Structures are given as C-alpha cells and as structure tokens.
A and B are shown apart, each in its own frame.
Chain A
Amino acid sequence: MRKTLILVLGLFLAGAALTPTYARELSGQEILDDLEFSNILSASGTAELTLITENVKGVQRKYSIRVFRKSGDDGEKQFLEYLAPADVRGTKFLSLTEKGREDQMWLYMPALGRERRIAAHMTEDSFMGTDFTYEEIGGNLAYEDEYSAQRLPDEELEGLSCYVLDLEARSEDVLYAKIQMWVWKDEMVPLQVDFWDPADTLKKTLTLRDFRRVEEELIPHNVVMADNLKGTRTILEITKITEDDVDDEVFTVRYLRR
C-alpha cells in the first residue's frame, strides 16, 4: 500500500516535473514573461558607466557618467553626472517623469555656474545624443504591450543555445514594425535584439554581453547599440552597478548645484 502510494506519488511528481518541458514547448509569450533581465537603466539604483559613441569611421567619443535612478509607481527620476572628460566634468542632468505632471529636465553646467531648464520634447528620439532611444535604454525589453511574440526555431549564438522570438507590432503606431530577440536558454536573458523598420530594413541591433551577477540579478556589462542605417554605434560599459536605494534629495534642482 505504501509502496503503491509512493509509486503513484512518484509518477505524479515525475509527470508534473516533466510535463512543462517535454509535453509542451514554451510559447513566445511565455519566454517573454520569463525574461530574467528587463533593461540596464530600468531599475532603481546607481551605476557608473563608460559611454562611447562611435561615428561611421569608427572615431570614438568617450564619456564617464554616474547615474542615480529611482523608479516607482508614480514615475521615474533620474540624475546623471558627467565625470570625464575634464571639460564636461561636473555637468549634471536631472530628469523627472512623474505621473500627472509635465516632464521636467534640468541641466547644470559648471562653466555657466547655474542650472537651466531644457525642453523635453526633442529628447524623445535619442538618449543623450546616442544611438539609444530612452525607451531602448530604460524601458522594458519585453515589449508585451505593443508586440505579439512568435517563436522561431532555436538557434545558437556564439555557442550559446537560444530561443528566437519574432515580435510583430500590434499596431502601426510604433517605431519598429518587427523585433527579433535571441534569448539565452540557460539564463533566460536576451543576448541580441534586432529592430526592423516598416520598410523591412534592419535599423538597429542591440547586443548584450558580459553578463555578471549583481545582487542575484544577471546584468550585462557590455551593451552595444548599432544603428545600421547611420553606421554609428553606442557602447555602454558598466563599471559599477548597485540596486541601493537613492535618497530623494538627489533628485532635486537644488542638488544639481552641489
């Protein structure tokens, strides 16, 4: 009796354990839901980055930046400070995106000795003049709302076994008509994202590499966005990242001047 019970239970458990993997493949949507990484600048915390922009001929401009972020239900706050090169050191940038309030952006230029408010609307398409849009650097890479996911046959990317997702825009009201994503099966993190425009040309390619575990989470320490039409690239290298909470005082105009 006990034996049979154990046997039944064992079979049941085995069945339960095996069913999701063997009896049924993960759907595209499920893979998206299971993604272990949303984006570099999406969570709250601080980071120090090297931001490299590269023109068509491979000439680079290199900046070191410190970022403080706080993301909550009522909106996002971001504080950014240039550490290098020397001539822009101390330039600070504050952006407040709060629900129910107009977006605000402030810039403090040490050479000027004062902060200035800058209009937000031109910054929509490019994050700090890089190849990233704000959405691409701070938004959720899962894109569940605007895109519907389809699974394509699995592929290997640099020797890593990946799920391949094809995301089709649900409406025509989006920047990209199609997005393709390679998700590393072992860790469920995206390794590459291709962005296609409505004319079906590959506009941008995002590659995420050098994943390291930071406070339980896998975070890519080398992120490259290539604009295939312009031939430019933006390289983000994370030198330090934490998810420590940041004092609200940082996100004030007064703090800019400090």
Chain B
Amino acid sequence: MQRWIKLVLDRPWVFISAVIAVTISAAILLPRLTFDASIEAMIPSDDPVLAELETIADDFGSQELFLIALRTDNIFNPDTLSKIADLTEELELLPGIKEVQNPFNAQLVESGFLGIEIRPVTANIPQSNQEIEEFRDEILRSPYVGRLVTADGRGAALLVDLENTGHSRSRVLNSIESLVEKQTGPEEIYIVGDSYVLHYTEKAMKEDLRNLIPFVVVIIAGVLYFTFRSFLGILIPLAAVGASLVWTVGLMALWDIPVSIISMVMPVILVTLGIASSIHILNKYQESLERGLPKREALEETFAVITSPVVMAALTTAAGFGSLITAFVHPIREFGVLTGLGVLIAMGLSLTLIPAILILVKPPHKKAEAEERRGLLDKLLSTLTRWTIFNPRRVIAAILIFFLVLGAGAFRLTLESNIINYFGDSSPVKKGASVIEEVFGGSMQISVVVDSGEEDGIKEPAVLREIVSIQNYLNSFDTINNAVSVADVVRELNQALWDGDPSFYEIPETREGVAQQLLLFSMQGGSGLDSLVSYDYSRALITAQMKTLDAHMLSAVITEVETYLDDHYGNSELEVSLIGAPKVMMRLMSRYVQTQISSLLTSVLAVGFIVSALMRSVSLGLLSLTPLVFTVVINFGIMGYAGIPLDAVTSIIASLAIGIGVDYAVHYLSRYRLELSKHGNKAAALENTGRSAGRGIFFNAVALITGFLVLVFSHFKAISIFGVLISATMVISSLAALLVIPLLLHNFLEPKFRKE
C-alpha cells in the first residue's frame, strides 16, 4: 500500500489524466441509458406467471385496462355529455389509439320494432332535457352500469383501446395527458391504466434524478463547507464521487441495464457514501498537517493510516450491496451489484485521485473549528461511554426495553407489490385509481381462462353454463366487480331473439343455437367478442375488476378463488385458471420475503467474514455485527408500527444497513484496540475510544443521514420512506456501536487483540 501511494504521489498527472480519460469514455455511454419501471421488469422473463399472461394476450389481446375516468356531481348535463363526446372524438384522432368506447357508442343488443338490433346506445349526443332523460334511462338499464357510467350518475368512463405497435407509447400517452389536462374542470378527469402508471413512473423517475442528484450535491457541498471551510475541501471529494458515479452509470449503460425504480436511488447513495470516506481522508490529512508535517509526508502518513479502514469500509459496504444478488426481483439484483461496484470504484478513486490532486494543490488552511462545539460533542460522547461503564445494568435494561418494544413491531410487518402504492395519495395515478375504485369497483384486471381443449368447445351450452357460474362466483366477492364473459353476449342475444323477454336471458339449449346466435352477432357487426373468446372458440376469458387491496387481503381473495376453481374444475375436462396482475403481485410479494431473508443472511455472512478476516478475529467479527442485529430488528419494528410495507425498495434496507452500519463498529473496535494497547486499562481505553472514535462516527453518521434524507424529496412515497428508514438505521447503528459494543467489552467479553 505504501508503495502504491508513493507511485501516485510521484506521478499524479498520470493518474489524474487516466481518471479523466475513463470518465469521459463512461460519460459518452450515458445517453444510451434506458428506463424501465414496469412490474414485468421486476420478474425474470421466464417466470411462469409472465408466460401465462403472455399466452392470454396472444389469444384475447392485451389484458390491460386503460381508461379515462371522469367524475363530477352529475354527468347527465349537456356540458359534461358534450365533453365526453369531444374527448372521445379527440382521442380517436390521436395516432396509436384504435378505438374509444364511451357511454354513447357502447353496443346494445335489442329486440326492437325493426327486429334484432345491435346498435349504439345513442347516435346523437343528448342535449335537450328530454334527450338526456331518455339517455339516462337507457344507459342505466344497460349492462354498462358500473362499467361506463356509475349507477349514481357521478362518474363516466371512456375505455381506450391502444394499439400495441407502431407508435411510441410515451408519445401517445403524452398527447392523452395534455388532452385530459385541457378538458379537466369542472369535472375531474383521470387517466387510469397500467401503461399510464408506467409512463408516469418513468417520468417521475427522470424528474427525480434531475432534481435529487443536484440536490444531494448541493447538500453535500454544504456539509463539506461546514467541515472544511475551503473551496478545495468541497471540490476534491465531489470530483472523486462524481467520477465514481459516472463510471458506475457508464457500466450500466454499457451492460444495457435499464434504470429501475430501485436503481434510481443509486446516485444519491453513491454520492453520500463516497463523500463520507473522502471526509475521513481529508480529516486525517488535516490532522497530519496540523501536527506540522510537510505536504508529502502528511499525505504518506494519512494514507498509511487511512487505507486499511477505507478499504475495509468499502469492502463491507460493497458486500452489503452485493448480498442483494440473492434477490429474486431482477432490478434489486442489478442495483445491488452495480452499487457494490460503485462503492469499490469510489474507494479506488479516493485512494488514487484524491492523493493525486492533494499533492498538486496547496495544503488547505488550518481549520478553525469551534472549540465549543467540539467540547459539547466530546462531553456528550463521554457521558454516553461513562453510562455504559458505570451503570451497565440500567443501560442494558434501557436498551433491551427499547429493543423489545420497537422490535415487537416487526410482527406487524406487511407486504406490498402494487406499484401504485409506491406513490403518495396526491399523485394523479393514485387519485385516478382511487376514483376508479370508488365509482367502478376496482382498478386491477383479474381474469379466469376457461380452456375447453377443443375447437368450438366454448359453444357447448354446458361449458357456457360453467362460465356463468364462475362469473357469478367472482361477482359474489365485495372486492371483485363487473365480471364479464362471452356468456353475457350469448344470453343478451338469446333474450333479444325472444323479443326481449327477460326470462330468456339464458344460454340456449343446443350448441347449434349458440353457434347460430354468435354468427348473427358477428354478422350484425357486433364487436368485442375477440377479447372474450379465442378465434377458434376453444378458450374463453372471464374478466373482472378487482379493488386494490393490501397484500394480506389480496392473497386471501386470490387463494380463495384459486381453491374454488381447483375444487370445481380440478378434475373436469375444462382447464380453468386464474391469471392477471394480482397474481404477478402476489408472486412478487412472496419473493420480497425470500429476498429479504436471503439477502439478510448473505450480507451478515459476507460482512462478518470480511470483518473477521481483516481484524483476524472471529469474535471481533461477531462483536461488530451485534449493533446491526439491533439496527435491523428495530428497522423492521419501525416499519411494522408505521405501517410501512416490505416492498421492492424497503426490502433492500436491511442489507444496506448491515453493509454500511458495520463500519461504525469496525471503526470503534479498531480505535479501542489502539487505545487498549496504549493504556492497558479497559475503562480508560473505552472512555478515550468513546470520545475519539465517537467523534468520527458522529460526523460520518451526520454526513450519511444528511445525504440519504435528500431521498425524502422523491416523487415516490416508497423512496422517501426508504430515505427516512435508511437514515434511521444510520442513527441506530451508530448509537448501537457507541453503546452496545462498550457494554459488551466492559462487562462480558475479553476478546484477544492480536497485533496488526
């Protein structure tokens, strides 16, 4: 290491220009970076849940619900009705939109004076009182209540059929967005649908990155100014973290890894972590200078002392991130590996770029740190240490109570995988979903596929009757609404053929009857069959809307439905299966738990191993992990009490807390070893360690917390919560290092310290 640092100090320009060259090449790659926020991207593409969805999309077209929801006091007024018509017309003119179904053009099957008729609800937009009255009666009697208009007349929906190819989705959605914006007021108008959530998410991600990166840089610059009060003290650390960030993101672009809702937090984390180690280095350098060493000697001494803790901190932190590679969720794995790499890159740069710059510039002025502040902090830290030495019982009791009470919250931990819940209540996507939930009874599409196994099998009356019974079963749930199927079309036609007699709202007796009615339907220009039955009539789809539920309810409902289907059709010739977004979510949720457990174990093992190896003591390795047990349990406890669910973002906190938080323990133990060899007396060593290591830990924690808290300003509720929680874990792990370790050292443990 010593030789290495001499090499850097002898030829600083070689290193600086090499770093600049790599940084520029990495920066050139940046425009290639893509974004992907889709829930599908979270699941490995060969997962059966996704394969199922794809097969269904093949047979019945895209299963995605996309609609424009409109809410007002009463939609049955001339202005609102015209607005619905205008919106429809304008939407249909947009490229990329196939068709828009609204309460006017929806098809009715009717037995009228002229015979069987499949016709739109109304050809003209009702304007006079009488027309509106007639239209209201007609639509409220139709099967479209609860789908295109609400029974109470407060809401209407336009079902939009998007083309799957040919047009840039985001351009289409942008134009829909501006259309809706133009038409909003006095009615509330919302865009609802997975692809809009995706679009909005990607926009929010980009905006977040645009806002949060400069923000964290400004905040960190503030911290640096506060610490060093010099221009170079700000610039040098920022140059090092800036370069490491560009390198890491460049790798992302090089490997075609899209930015996900998780890796989005990477820049803030990397900048914050990188700054913390730079502060550490610069502090030590200043200390050496203050002792009167000339520049070169001061740098050599600094790096002789600092290299090993910096490397150890980087290794443990990288191991914490790296443990996420055991995650099921794809973006978490990518995030873990990339950020781990980023941490190592930052380490490499702070050991090369920083000394290379420092040797070239004038040493900074002597820092005029306020002695008072130092005094106050020292007093606080000494008190903390003295407590642990002189009142161990009380402190142990206090810590245990705190630990148990907060930790108990972990049992209340819930799960979440619906991306819509990653947003705050005031975001348009969340509002739109809640309007749809409130007035139309669900914003998630859930489907049951009935496979008869043979061509035209669905035309069998027995099969259709089973479809009806599944449909009725689904509708019997409070949380599932509007189940529709091809059996509805058949029954409506049958009723119309028998002069509209409601007692003929039945499936015909024979297969011929069904086939002939369906023929009539398509002859008459009836549409919409393709999304309900496969072209060869071998498979049918029952679709329904499901309310957004918390994970517990969701899995209860899904399990109940699946059990029912299995009980009734497990042994029948019909193959019946439940599919849809809720199942994808359930799969994800079950995997968050697995991710949590595997990454937690991996990070504990990896970090414990690294610390033990570097300190050449297994007991010290274990000792440094103890504060983290507290941290992780309390983190889950806080989440449980606060009702913060385990989701894609929060499930990575524990591993990070271990990787980052272990540094405090390591820092403490290294210092303690030094003090013990100096004093030989445990109490004195502890007190000195508490003060000196405590100061370092305090400043490091403050810098990290300040940086992480920037995430609070994210568009995503999930990410702001992540920012708060990861900051909380820093508070806890630093405090735990200062309290728990001295307690254990003083009262219970006699670890052997081998000489380094």
List A residues at the B interface (Cβ < 8 Å): 55, 57, 59, 61, 82, 85, 87-88, 91, 93, 105-107, 109-112, 116-123, 125-126, 128-129
Chain A residue, CB-CB nearest to B112: A119
Bound CA–CA A59/B517 (angstroms):
21
Give the distance in Å from the alpha carbon of A128 to the alpha carbon of B535 in the complex. Answer: 16
Q: Chain B: which residue is nearest A115 at the CB level? A: B115
The residues of B that contact A129 with a CB separation of less than 8 Å are 522-526
User: For residue A107, which residues in chain B have a CB less than 8 angstroms away from its CB?
Assistant: 116, 520, 523
Q: State the Cβ distance, A125 to closest chain B Cβ, in Å.
A: 6
Cross-chain contact A87 with B524 (CB below 8 angstroms): no
Taking CB atoms, residues of chain A closer than 8 Å to B517 are: 109
Given the interface pairs A118-B524, A123-B525, A129-B525, the reply to whether A91 lies near B516 with Cβ below 8 Å is yes
Bound form: Cα–Cα A129–B512 in Å: 19
A116 touches which of B115, B459, B514, B523 (Cβ 8 Å)? B115
A253 → B minimal CB distance (Å): 12
Map CB proximity to A onto B493-534 as digits: 1 under 8 Å, 0 otherwise: 000010000000000101111111101101111100010001
Interface: B287 (CB within 8 A): no
**Chain B residues, CB < 8 A from A88:** 512, 515-516, 519
Contact of A112 among B516, B534, B535 (CB under 8 A): B516
Docked complex Cα distance between A93 and B742 (Å) = 94
**CB of B58 within 8 A of chain A?**
yes
The 7 A-B pairs with the shortest beta carbon distances in the complex, nearest first, are A117-B115, A129-B522, A87-B515, A119-B117, A111-B513, A111-B512, A59-B535
**Cβ-defined contact, B519 with A82, below 8 A:** yes
B138 at interface by CB-CB < 8 Å: no
A106: chain B residues within 8 A (beta carbon): 115
Minimum CB distance partner of B119 in chain A: A122
> Would you call B519 and A118 a contact (CB within 8 A)?
no
Q: State the CA gap A82–B516 with chains docked (Å).
A: 10
Q: Does B118 interact with chain A (Cβ within 8 Å)? A: yes
Which of the residues A119, A125, A128 comes within 8 Å of B114, measured between beta carbons?
A119
With contacts A87-B459, A111-B513 taken as known, whether A119 is within 8 angstroms of B115 at the C-beta atoms is yes
Task: Determine which residue in A85, A112, A123, A125 has the highest number of CB atoms from chain B within 10 A of its CB, and name it.
Answer: A112
Residues from chain B with a CB closer than 8 A to the CB of A121 are: 117, 119
Q: Is B290 an interface residue (CB 8 A)?
A: no
B40 interface residue per 8 A CB criterion: no
Q: Is B134 an interface position by the 8 A CB rule? A: no
CA distance A128 to B534 in the complex (A): 19
Contact of B525 among A105, A116, A126 (CB under 8 A): A126
Q: Are A118 and B535 in contact (CB under 8 A)?
A: no
Closest Cβ of chain A to B499, distance in Å, is 9
Chain B residue numbers with a CB within 8 Å of A122 are 117-119, 524-526
Taking a contact as CB atoms under 8 Å apart, the answer to whether A110 and B523 are in contact is no
CA distance A55 to B115 in the complex (A): 29
A119 to B523, CA, bound (A): 11
Q: Which of A85, A93, A119, A128 contacts B119 (CB 8 A)?
A: A119
Q: Tell me which of B459, B511, B516 contacts A109 (CB under 8 A).
A: B516
6 inter-chain pairs at a CB distance below 8 angstroms, sorted by A residue, are A110-B516, A116-B115, A117-B114, A118-B114, A121-B119, A122-B526
Are B536 and A118 in contact (CB-based, < 8 A)? no
Residues of A within 8 A of B524 (CB): 118-119, 122-123, 129
Nearest Cβ in chain A — how far from B62, in angstroms? 12
Complex Cα distance A57/B55, Å? 13
Query: Shortest Cβ distance from A225 into chain B, in angstroms?
Result: 16
| Alpha-carbon distance A87/B514, docked complex (angstroms) | 9
- A91 proximity list for chain B (CB < 8 A): 516, 519
The answer to whether the Cβ of B466 comes within 8 Å of any Cβ in the partner chain is no
- Write the nearest CB–CB distance from B112 to chain A, whole angstroms: 7
A84 smallest CB distance to B (angstroms): 12
If the complex has contacts A57-B58, A87-B516, A109-B517, are A118 and B117 also in contact, measured as CB distance less than 8 A?
yes
For B110, the closest partner residue in chain A by CB is A119
B497-A116 in contact (CB<8A)? yes
Residues of B near A125 (CB, < 8 A) are: 525
Least CB distance, A248 to chain B, in whole angstroms: 23
Q: Which of A110, A111, A123 has the most CB of B within 10 A?
A: A111
What's the least CB distance linking B518 to chain A, in Å?
9
For residue A119, which residue of chain B has the nearest CB? B117
Nearest opposing residue in chain B for A89, CB measure: B512
B511 touches A87 (CB 8 A): yes
How far is it, in angstroms, between the C-alpha of A85 and the C-alpha of B513 when the chains are bound?
13
Q: Which residue of A lies closest to B111 (CB)?
A: A116
Residue of A nearest to B525 (CB): A122
Across the interface, A93 reaches (CB within 8 A) one of B515, B523, B526, namely B523
Residues of B within 8 Å of A55, CB to CB, are 530, 535
CB distance from A44 to the nearest CB of B (A): 23
CB distance from B46 to the nearest CB of A (A): 22
A128 with B516: CB separation less than 8 A: no
Closest-CB distance, A56 to chain B (whole angstroms): 9
Cα-based distance from A110 to B516 in the complex (angstroms): 8
Q: Please give the distance in Å from A201's CB to the nearest CB on chain B.
A: 10
* Structural contact, B459 and A118, CB atoms closer than 8 A: no
Chain A residues near B188 (CB-CB < 8 A) = none
Q: Which residues of A are found within 8 Å of B534, using beta-carbon distances?
A: 59
Q: Find out whether the CB atom of B512 lies under 8 angstroms from the CB atom of A118.
A: no
Chain A residue nearest to B165 (CB atoms) is A231
Q: Are A123 and B516 in contact (CB under 8 A)?
A: no
- The B368-423 residues at the A interface (CB cut-off 8 A) are none
Residue in A123, A126, A129 with the greatest tally of chain B CB atoms within 10 Å: A129
User: CB distance B58 to A116 under 8 Å?
Assistant: no
- Does B456 count as interface, using CB distance less than 8 angstroms? yes
Question: How far is A91 from B515 in the complex, measured between Cα atoms in Å?
Answer: 10
Question: In the assembled complex, which residues on chain B have CB atoms less than 8 Å from the CB atom of A57?
Answer: 58, 535
Q: How far is the CA of A126 from the CA of B517 in the complex (A)?
A: 17
CA distance A88 to B520 in the complex (A): 10
Q: Cβ of A61: which chain B residues have Cβ within 8 Å of it?
A: 535-536
Give the shortest distance, in Å, between B101 (CB) and chain A (any CB): 15
**Bound complex: CA of A107 vs CA of B343, how far in Å?**
75
Among B482-500, those with CB < 8 Å from A are 497
A117 CB contacts on chain B under 8 angstroms: 114-116
- Asked if B115 contacts A105 (CB within 8 A), the reply is yes
**Nearest CB to that of B522 among chain A residues?**
A129
The residue of chain A having its C-beta at the shortest distance from the C-beta of B93 within the complex is: A199
Contact at B508–A111, with CB atoms within 8 Å?
yes
CA distance A128 to B526 in the complex (A): 10
Residue from B117, B510, B512 whose CB has the most chain A CB atoms within 10 Å: B512
Residues of chain A contacted by B530 (CB below 8 angstroms): 55
Shortest distance between the CB of B711 and any CB in chain A (Å): 45
Most buried by A among B58, B116, B526, B530: B116
Q: Which residues in A have their C-beta under 8 angstroms from that of B118?
A: 119, 122
17 more A-B contacts (CB under 8 A) besides A107-B116, A117-B116? A61-B536, A85-B456, A85-B515, A87-B514, A87-B515, A88-B512, A91-B516, A107-B523, A109-B520, A111-B508, A111-B510, A116-B115, A119-B117, A121-B117, A122-B118, A122-B526, A128-B522
Docked Cα-Cα span, A244 to B112, in Å, equals: 37
Residues of A within 8 A of B516 (CB): 87-88, 91, 109-112
Q: Tell me which residues across on chain A come within 8 A of B114, comparing CB atoms.
A: 117-120
Residues of A near B508 (CB, < 8 A) are 111
For B456, B514, B520, B534, the residue with the greatest tally of chain A CB atoms inside 10 Å of its CB is: B520
Residues on the B chain within 8 Å of A110, using CB: 512, 516
List the B residue with the shortest CB-CB distance to A63: B519
Q: Please, how many angstroms separate the alpha-carbon atoms of A128 and B510 in the complex?
A: 23
A254 to B508 alpha-carbon distance, docked (Å): 25
| In the complex with contacts A59-B535, A87-B459, A110-B512, A123-B523 CB distance below 8 A | yes
- Point out the residues of chain A lying under 8 angstroms from B510, CB to CB: 111
- Chain A proximity of B452: nearest CB distance (Å): 14
What are the residues of chain A within 8 A of B520 when measuring CB–CB?
A: 107, 109, 118
